[in-house]
Amino acid sequence: MGLEDVTLREKSVASGVRQLGRARPQNPSRDAVSMPSVYRRLSAESLRQALRKMHLIRRFEESAEDAYMRGLVHGTMHLSIGQEASAVGICATLEPTDYMTSTHRGHGHSIAKGAQVARMFAEFFGKEDGYCRGRGGSMHIADVSTGNLGANGIVGGGLPIAVGVALSMKKQRRSCVVVSFFGDGANNEGAFHEALNMASIWKLPVVFVCENNGYGMSTSTERSTAVKDVAERACAYSMPGIVVDGNDFAAVAQAAFDAVERARRGDGPSLIESKTYRIRGHSRSDRNRYRTKEEIEAWLARDPIVAFERELARLGFVSKSGIEAIRTDVECEIAEAIAFAKASPAPSVEELTRYVYSD
Amino acid sequence: MSTPIEATAILQRRRSSVEDTRSSGLSPEPRELSYAQAIQEAMAIAMERDERVFLMGEDIGVYGGAFQVTGDLVHRFGADRVMDTPISELGSAGVAIGAALTGLRPIFEFQFSDFSALAMEQIVNQAAKLRFMLGGAVSVPLVMRFPSGSGTGAAAQHSQSLEAWFAHVPGLKVVQPATPHDAKGCLLAAIADPDPVMIFEHKLLYKMKGEVPEGHYTVPLGKARLCRPGRDVTIVATSIMVHRSLAAAEELSREGIEAEVIDLRSLRPLDRDTLTQSVKRTHRLVCVYEGVKTLGIGAELSASIAESDAFDYLDAPILRLGGAECPIPYNPELEKAAVPQTPTIIAAVRDLIGGRL
């Protein structure tokens, strides 16, 4: 995926897909012209919390990687470093009672939806205090208390389930919205087609969020997907499709606000394509043979956290010392979380087959 | 539509009224229903008692279902609770799972059990495993119904018996009721069950009539039924093979061979006790099932005896009669030959008793 694809602009394209970005501010002051409207919809405190969550995700991923190197994590993991604005931008618009289904690259989504990193680390370490009592690991972290119905080891696996949750909400007359994160790889699964079609015919409150990070494992979207933008596919299901710069918190949150409001009003689903990039490989086995150093470096220069920090500072939402305090606070939370996870007991082998069926 | 809490209250009110009727001492007149009618009645009772229950599937609304099992329920309960789905088995299975995860009790009818292959991912990777993968944080109270089996001339893609596939997966429950009584009781038990239950209904049984009690009752999942006592051989059968085995037992009885017939009813959980107790009495075992013989339920039942103390009681090799090693053919004679029939069972038992195996 070329950088030009995510040039920040708003325009209509022939397919009806809207591209949402924002103009670069002309003058570096906090005025109505240069400030994306989403900064007025979220409180200053929410924005600082969003920044904190992005840092927490980044440090969680880096620490998980470090723990893996030191042999504390069994199996593999899929890191979302570089995709933080996408996870946090979407979830910043949700209520705690709203639901979410996630993907194999779901650590960021969980944290953005409100999961505790201590219990996430405990799950990584296979411990009883983990979100899945050590039975699920990285690919199945769920936190039902925050509406997080879980990551999923199957590409596209969460899409139909999200539609079912939305059907359930509609039948029970609950005003909850369901966000279903999936990757560019999932958009070529049959489940994608079936899920989007059903959500549309039944006008269900789902926001489909395709995090297009350019590659399904090693296969680029250009090689795997017949359309330029995944969002173009929305028109096949009579729902709005929008492309956003997934590394731009404000652009993501703006699109999410629109889609969530539409869903909550009962007007049906939307498809948001959040164009982003995973800085790390697909998983631990990835040797980066399918992309260039230059490409990775170009995306590193567009770090979503650096951009968001700069933006919040420019607009006066956070000071330099405020940013420093967030970083220190996050470091502290990560250290405590790892200590908690290390100290947590391992599950008992006697309970191997527990939870297969309800007791 | 009520909230789950309200629905529970409604459920409790309705349940108590049903119990009142049933404890009044008036034993209802025995009456006969077809297997399909019994299932329909179970679904209607469940929907009356519990607002969380709803039906979904292909053409189950005004069409009444491919085998008329849902029949007119759409007129009684409305299109919201008897929901037609697009021809999207994978997606619909996921939808049912999502609904089950968040407070509803879906009953999903697959039009043919063969189409379960399209939904394998959601059934096997999601429904069966979600509770375990999430360390018990969720449960998936989902019922899936599968018209299955051969004998209708629908050939290889509409006639299979795939229950053993699913019985191999921990997290699923797999039942095969053989009578109208059990079809209703197993379905009501499945709806009350907190975990995913798959019910395989043989298409040739839909029109079969039998005594079905009024009102709500359940047949425990995982409990086999001794249908006919006998001293010479145990025939353990599933689904329509129960009836063929009973017919075979009648014929054999005229020859002085008394076969004990067990209706397994459930593949998972599996009632090994009823089987081993029976084999200890009869000293011989024949397993009869429609699914492909090799690596099927018969292998598991045989191994259950081989691994138990009933092994020492055996006076003859264990025999399996299952589906032939081919897809179900179209030609009616070939189709019959592809699965055990009553004469096949009679001949096999004669050989077994006569020591000709």
- Asked casually if ipTM beats, i.e. exceeds, 0.85, the reply is yes
Question: Residue B355's pLDDT is what?
Answer: 82
A136, A140, A171 ranked by CB distance to B104: nearest: A171
For residue B70, give how far its alpha carbon lies from the nearest alpha carbon of chain A (Å): 20
Which candidate in B89, B109, B163, B290 is catalytic?
B89
Name the fold adopted by B12-212: Rossmann fold (3.40.50)
Given a cut of 90, whether residue B153 has pLDDT beyond it is yes
Spatial contact of A274 and A86, defined as CB atoms under 8 Å apart: yes
**Under an 8 Å CB criterion, which residues of B touch A?**
1-4, 54, 80, 85-86, 88, 90-104, 106, 121-122, 125-126, 130-139, 170-171, 173, 194-195
For residue B229, give how far its alpha carbon lies from the nearest alpha carbon of chain A (Å): 33
A interface test, pick of B52, B82, B95, B174 with most A CB neighbours within 10 Å: B95
Helix ranges (DSSP H) in B23-120: 35-49, 73-77, 89-101, 120
How do residues A20-33 score in pLDDT, each as one tens digit?
655 444 444 555 55
Integer Cα distance of A63 and A32 in angstroms: 39
CATH 3.40.50.920 residue ranges in chain B? 225-353
**A142–B101: do the CB atoms touch at under 8 Å?**
no
How do residues A71-128 score in pLDDT, each as one tens digit?
999 988 999 999 999 999 999 999 999 999 999 999 999 999 999 999 999 999 999 9
Question: Residue B357's pLDDT is what?
Answer: 67
Chain B residue nearest residue A164, CA to CA: B95
Q: In what order do the strands lie in the sheet with B233-237?
A: B225-228, B259-263, B233-237, B285-292, B319-323
- Does the annotation mark B181 as catalytic? no
B86, B125, B135 ranked by CB distance to A197: nearest: B86
- Does the annotation mark B89 as catalytic? yes
What is the domain partition of chain A in residue ranges?
Answer: 3-344
Strands (E), chain A: 11-12, 18-20, 99-101, 178-183, 206-212, 215-216, 219-220, 241-245, 270-275
Which candidate in B158, B181, B216, B243 is catalytic?
B158
Q: B-chain residues within 8 Å CB-CB of A131?
A: 134-135, 137
Q: Does the domain spanning B225-353 belong to CATH 3.30.360.10?
A: no
State phi, psi for A140 to the nearest 5 degrees: -130, 20
- Residue B261: which H helix or E strand, with range? strand B259-263
Given a cut of 70, whether residue B158 has pLDDT beyond it is yes
Integer Cα distance of A335 and A325 in angstroms: 15
Chain A segment 121-180 residues within 8 A of B by beta carbon are 130-136, 140, 142, 144, 149-150, 152-154, 157, 159-169, 171-174
How do residues B189-232 score in pLDDT, each as one tens digit?
999 999 999 999 999 999 999 999 999 999 999 999 999 999 99
Longest CA span, chain A:
65
Longest CA span, chain B:
65
The neighbouring-strand residues paired with A85 are none
* Model pTM score: 0.92
Question: Residue B29's pLDDT is what?
Answer: 66
How do residues B100-136 score in pLDDT, each as one tens digit?
999 999 999 999 999 999 999 999 999 999 999 999 9
Given a cut of 50, whether residue A7 has pLDDT beyond it is no
Integer Cα distance of A162 and B171 in angstroms: 21
CATH 3.40.50.970 residue ranges in chain B? 12-212
Q: B-chain residues within 8 Å CB-CB of A358?
A: 131, 139, 194-195
Question: Residue A14's pLDDT is what?
Answer: 40
Amino acid letter for position A157: G
State which CATH number among 3.40.50.970, 3.90.110.10, 3.30.420.40, 3.40.640.10 fits the domain covering A3-344.
Answer: 3.40.50.970
**B94–A154: do the CB atoms touch at under 8 Å?**
no
Q: B-chain residues within 8 Å CB-CB of A133?
A: 135-136
Amino acid letter for position B169: V
